[in-house]
Amino acid sequence: MAAPLEEPEEPELLLLREENQALKIQLEATREAGVQALRWASKQLQEAQEKRAEELKKFHEQENQDIQVLNGRHEEELRGRLQRSKDLLEELRTKGVLLVEMKMRIKRMEEEKQQLLEKKVMLEKKLQEVVAGPEGDQRYLHVHEQISTLKEQICHLHRLIQGQHRHLHDVIQEAEELRHQLQQQEEKIEELGEKVALLEAQNQELRDKVRFWSHQPKKKVSTAVGMDPPRDLGVSPYSMLTKLRKQKT
């Protein structure tokens, strides 16, 4: 018995089957293009991240070096000002000792002057008594000479005391100027100390950043991911459809 003949497919069904096959090929081509594009984009992103990490590392290293240089300058200035402050303090102590000695000297000179004045007054009273006595001439001359000598001593001592007062005034002004300079040095030292502390904190922060970017793990590209740019990237799915059709035939 002869086998029954297959009925020819209807044109609509045949066309639908061909369209379905074409859609499958188109889908496969689109998927292949997407995979290649994704692989290439992933590779480019990884390279960009690694480049950015290296740039940040170099940037922080340079910034760290700049801060170290600036910090070194501040520390050197700080040491100089500390030494200057120490010298000023020693000079101020010396002025203080000198002031005490000068005040004591002036006090002794004024006491001596007061004693001479009292002696002069006493001799002047005695001079009046001598004039009235029987031996007035000789005694008068003697007492008068003593009074004259006392006057010279008092005038000389008065000039010395005035000179000492002027010198004392100058030393007091010098001491005040030293105190002012010392205060300025202390304020600058405090300011520099704060700057050094701030720069050290920034320096530590930058060192941490450099270590962070230095130890960033480099992502390995999967062996399934192509290292070369996709040759069909940017080609339309229809062009890849034609290529796949040729491969299937």
CATH hierarchy code of domain 50-214: 1.10.287.1490
Band of pLDDT at residue 121, cut at 50, 70 and 90:
very high
157 Cβ contact partners less than 8 Å away, ≥ 6 residues apart? 109, 112, 113, 116
CA gap 77, 61 in Å, rounded = 24
238 Cβ contact partners less than 8 Å away, ≥ 6 residues apart? 26
71 Cβ contact partners less than 8 Å away, ≥ 6 residues apart? 196, 199, 200, 203
Q: What are the residue boundaries of the structural domains of the chain, listed by start?
A: 50-214
What is the model's pTM? 0.56
Checking 230-236 for CB contacts under 8 A at 24+ apart, the result is 230/33, 230/36, 230/37, 230/39, 230/40, 232/32, 232/33, 232/36, 233/33, 233/36, 233/37, 233/40, 235/33
Q: Is the pLDDT of residue 219 over 70?
A: no
Tens-digit pLDDT profile for residues 37-94? 777 777 777 777 777 777 777 887 788 788 788 888 888 888 898 899 999 999 999 9
CA gap 45, 55 in Å, rounded = 15
